Amino acid sequence: MENIQILMAGLTAIILFVFGLENFSKEIEAITGERFRKSLSRATKIPVIGVLIGAVVTAVIQSSSATSVITISLVNAGVLSFKNSVGIIFGSNIGTTVTAQLVAFKLTAFAPVIIILGFALSLIRTRFSVFGKAIFYFGFVFFSLNLISSSLQPLQSNTTLIELLTQPQNPIYAILAGCLFTAAVQSSSVTTGLAIIFTQQGLLGLENAVLLIMGANIGTTATAMIAMFNMDIAAKKTAMSHFLFNLGGVLIFLPFLLAFGNKLSTLNMEPAIALANIHLVFNVATSLVFILLIGPFTRVVDLFLGEGKMDFERLAIPVLNEEMNFDSIKKSLENESNRLLNFLQENYNLVTLSIETNYRGVSDAAGKRIDYVDFIKKEYMAYFSKVVTQVHDETNSRKLIRLINQLDYLFQIHDSIKDLFNTKKVMSDHFIELKSDILLLIRELSSQTLVLFGTLNESLAADKPFDIPKASKEMQIHLDDAHKDLLSLLVDPGRRDAGALTNFITYSQRLKDKLINYANIRTAIE
């Protein structure tokens, strides 16, 4: 009975630890928001910089799984290349060793103070209150570790258990146990923290603890492997590289552990501190080895998954170079405007196709492209705020403002396409099925809008005049006809799908107006 009580108390404390760690990670991500993602997206072509970014971010959010999943999503969005993402993956393993060091040096004793500080900060209405919950959960993580330690302390008198855990076990079984437990709780920090506490109490032998931590490194890749589904080939490569990197590290250092593992007990330091230091050295050494071999490593990943292509061609992210003159800035913005208009035409085509066909694959593809334009929009907004300070000539400044206005209209066009996509999502959420007459109206409107897109694209690409009044009038006739047809459908209370058509016509009207306005702006600039 006593053992059951100890087990229940220990299990409860472990659950609190997992809860605290998960919420701490969420709070940090909520505070940092876009800055967090941009810190990853700024990784340079130098792998060491990527390693540093991955290590720092993971040390802050205390989750290598979260870092890897976000990195994979950035690769999928085209923000990071596969090769640049690999350094961040390497660094995430180093960052996760911070928890082990804090636990090993018994800094968890300050947990109550941190909890009180976080709670007090969240109550006080200051600009620092936003950090209150994050600090609270940080203290909660280590307070729960103290609970685990105290709840399992009675097990120190169980000689049978101590003999089982301290005697060297089959390395494969120990690594597998660490791998499966980490995959289940989705955090190597949990496994590492528990291993160090057990080692501190003398419940776990150092040799077995090292094997558990090595297994945890493999198990933490489970989240990334799950996240890679429904993503393009580059994102899948990043997830695969995370798995191969962690598995490779274990395979490289396992022979050394098997050969010299029996000498770990002779180390002249506390077992818990020794374990934390081994954890750090193992992850740093593995990262260094793979950085040196990053070329062959990425080629091996290419060999597994193939070169492949991304599911859609990415747009260029605007970068301000102080050496660029106005002419080069103007040319770059004009070229990207043309590319963005083409990209938006494809987005509109996919969105309307998803409404007409109701195929999930088409809808997912449209959603991915819309999310990507959202990211590009934010990059351009930041770029505009910087580029205006680089142009001082009054004439050039006016031209630049018109170019910025032109791109702003393109992003407004994107917003209307996004509204149409959200209409589709609302229909799906409420299980609204479109009948054939409405599908025909949507197809007619979408076809005419695509004609307007296409004519505008062709005239701009060929530098030919675009008859704006004629195009506007023809499109408006189709919109007015759709409105008339809609009125007869709205009379029938049983036609739930008529409401969806109302939104479609409204957003199509806005889209048409924005396309015409964009054409007017381009004509004025030309």
Q: Which residues have a Cβ under 8 Å from the Cβ of 185 and sit 6 or more positions away?
A: 18, 191
CA distance 93 to 85: 14
Nearest to 512 by CA among 446, 464, 457: 446
CA distance 354 to 363: 5
Q: What is the pLDDT of residue 417?
A: 93
> Are 188 and 175 a contacting pair, CB within 8 Å?
no
Looking at 293-393, list the stretches that DSSP marks H as alpha helix, in order from N- to C-terminal side. 294-305, 326-357, 360-387
Query: What tokens were used for 174?
Result: 């120990």
Report the largest interatomic distance among the alpha carbons of the chain, rounded to a whole angstrom: 91
Report whether pLDDT(86) > 90: no
Report whether pLDDT(215) > 80: yes
Residues constituting the chain? 526
Band the pLDDT of 471: cuts 50, 70, 90.
confident
Report whether pLDDT(232) > 80: no
Nearest to 203 by CA among 262, 161, 150, 261: 161
Give rounded-to-5 percent helix, strand, coil for the chain.
80, 0, 20
CA distance 486 to 507: 14
Which pLDDT tens digit goes with each residue over 428-452? 777 777 778 888 888 888 999 999 8
Q: What is the mean pLDDT of residues 503-526?
A: 82
Domain ranges of the chain: 2-305, 326-525
Query: What tokens were used for 328?
Result: 């080069």
CA distance 163 to 155: 12
CA distance 118 to 140: 10
Query: What tokens were used for 212?
Result: 């558990």
Q: What is the pLDDT of residue 340?
A: 92
Which pLDDT tens digit goes with each residue over 159-195? 665 565 566 678 888 888 888 888 877 677 778 888 8
CA distance 198 to 76: 40
Q: What is the pLDDT of residue 155?
A: 64
Q: Which CATH architecture has domain 326-525?
A: Up-down Bundle (1.20)
Report percent pLDDT > 70 for the chain. Answer: 84
Place of tokens 């969806």: 500
Report whether pLDDT(17) > 80: no
Q: CA 405 from chain center: how many Å?
A: 30
